[in-house]
């Protein structure tokens, strides 16, 4: 059975405790009521954002006077008295440190009556907005909020982000602001503009402490106009990137895979790709299920190829997202051949294949010294003339029976009884340890361990609903024994390879 590719609508935004927004305060009047340390700190933040700050405090201490004498950016004016409702008229923002709820309610009411957003320090019930923890690489600014639930936790997160974000990014963000008019003047199509800024981000990330100069701009611009020379605005260059999504855990994505997802215009993804992986994509990217679910309703490969090529020819950057590694039983050769035939640029971003992910969670080395001479990957089914065969006809069954080999079987479920029977007939010991892993590395991963001879019956009794990988070999003996499923296998042969 076949189905047509279907577009998956973007998921709704999850609930937000606060809306992260950034006020543009350059040259705008702001009001701070109170002369406490907390109020002075808020006045300093507002001044740093370019606001002209009026601080209403009956008594100005040394710290407040020092801020007024040397503000970080916008001027700080001290009004040596208490605030009044008329002081709030025309302000862009109002902040107060109040002694009690009665004063807080009065200040908030006066600010709202004047149409001014208000924050009362440490009294969230009277606040229209909150100040979060800040990572300052201005004009790159990161705000962090826990909605008042755990300010110390927010500060801890800020410290981690501070360690991750180089201070030199501030200079690169300044350069981006200065260079943007020159890039806009080139009148590049969307793909060209996005390509420039992707290269800009890569250059900044590679040399964050480098002082960007006009030479950097020229180097980034040099290939861009040439790439689009002689093309109309609608004639953009598309491309295809085959991306490995890994076995399921989103944290196993490579950095290159994340960058590809974030730059994609369209994502064609398989049904076996974990849904959380798509969260790394741009929200506005089209996401189309071209699911090949193995023995179930699937899109025909020819249809997938045709869609991929048509989108790329229309100037889209297409990510073909595949579970595991695209070069391991992922039909990458067919899709790459289609791109070559159509003259479409193509790349491959490898992923962690399912066998590696499963082994890492089991804490079992697939090439454990003394037990495995080599590892082989085989598939439990083959497609012949568009039909699913029971078993591939060209499996070397003697290699599967070899006790010094770890065999990993992809897509094993439909043919498992025949596969095991054929391997045993070829010499595989039915007591050989084996492990079937369903939904490897995901939160709902399921492991069935035992002797290979009994696994078909056990899986038939507990049919899997997700993707399964089967692993066979002596390296799993300790795991199987610890699971209490089988007696310890004969490990005497371990010495042969030491």
Catalytic center residues: 270, 292
Which of 321, 323, 296, 291 has the alpha carbon at shortest distance from 6?
291
Q: Under a CB-based contact definition with an 8 Å cutoff, are residues 8 and 14 in contact?
A: no
Cβ within 8 Å of residue 223, ≥6 positions away: none
Go through the chain and tell me how many residues it has.
Answer: 498
Query: Measuring CA to CA, how many Å separate 426 from each of 377, 398, 429, 430?
Result: 18, 6, 9, 11
């Amino acid at each position: 059975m076949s189905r047509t590719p279907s577009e998956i609508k973007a998921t709704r935004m999850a609930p937000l405790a606060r809306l992260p927004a950034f006020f543009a305060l350059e040259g705008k009047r702001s009001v701070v009521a109170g002369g406490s340390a907390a109020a002075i700190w808020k006045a300093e933040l507002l001044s740093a954002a370019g606001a002209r700050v009026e601080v209403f405090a009956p008594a100005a201490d040394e710290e407040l006077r020092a801020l007024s004498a040397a503000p970080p950016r916008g001027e700080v004016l001290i009004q040596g008295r208490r605030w009044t409702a008329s002081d709030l008229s025309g302000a862009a923002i109002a902040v107060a440190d109040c002694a009690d709820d009665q004063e807080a309610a009065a200040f908030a009411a006066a600010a709202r009556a004047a149409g001014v957003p208000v924050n009362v320090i440490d009294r969230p019930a009277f606040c229209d907005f909150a100040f979060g923890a800040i990572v300052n690489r201005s004009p790159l600014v990161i705000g962090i909020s826990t909605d008042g639930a755990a300010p110390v936790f927010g500060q801890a997160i800020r410290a981690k982000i501070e360690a991750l974000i180089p201070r030199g990014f501030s200079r690169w963000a300044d350069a981006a602001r200065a260079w943007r008019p020159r890039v806009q003047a080139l009148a590049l199509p969307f793909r060209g503009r996005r390509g420039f800024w992707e290269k800009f981000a890569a250059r900044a990330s590679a040399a964050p402490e480098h002082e960007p100069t006009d030479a950097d701009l020229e180097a980034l611009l040099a290939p861009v106009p040439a790439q689009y020379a002689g093309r109309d605005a609608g004639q953009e260059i598309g491309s295809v990137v085959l991306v490995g999504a890994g076995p399921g855990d989103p944290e196993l994505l490579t950095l290159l895979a994340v960058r590809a997802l974030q730059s994609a215009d369209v994502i064609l993804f398989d049904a076996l790709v974990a849904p959380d992986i798509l969260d790394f994509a741009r929200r506005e990217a089209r996401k189309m299920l071209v699911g090949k679910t193995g023995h179930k309703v699937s899109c025909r490969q020819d249809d997938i190829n045709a869609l991929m090529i048509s989108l790329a020819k229309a100037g889209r950057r297409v990510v073909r997202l595949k579970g595991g590694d695209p070069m391991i039983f992922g039909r990458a050769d067919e899709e790459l051949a289609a791109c070559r035939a159509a003259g479409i640029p193509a790349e491959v971003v490898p992923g962690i294949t399912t066998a590696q992910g499963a082994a890492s969670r089991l804490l079992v080395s697939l090439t454990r010294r003394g037990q495995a001479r080599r590892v082989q990957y085989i598939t439990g089914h083959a497609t012949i003339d568009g039909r699913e065969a029971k078993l591939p006809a060209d499996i070397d069954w003697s290699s599967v029976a070899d006790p010094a080999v770890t065999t990993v079987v992809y897509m094993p479920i439909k043919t498992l009884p025949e596969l095991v029977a054929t391997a045993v007939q070829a010499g595989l010991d039915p007591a050989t340890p084996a492990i079937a892993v369903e939904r490897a590395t995901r939160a709902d991963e399921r492991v069935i361990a035992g002797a290979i001879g009994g696994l078909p019956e056990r899986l038939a009794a507990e049919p899997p609903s997700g993707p399964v990988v089967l692993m066979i070999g002596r390296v799993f003996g300790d795991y199987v024994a610890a699971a209490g499923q089988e007696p310890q296998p004969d490990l005497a042969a371990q010495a042969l390879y030491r």
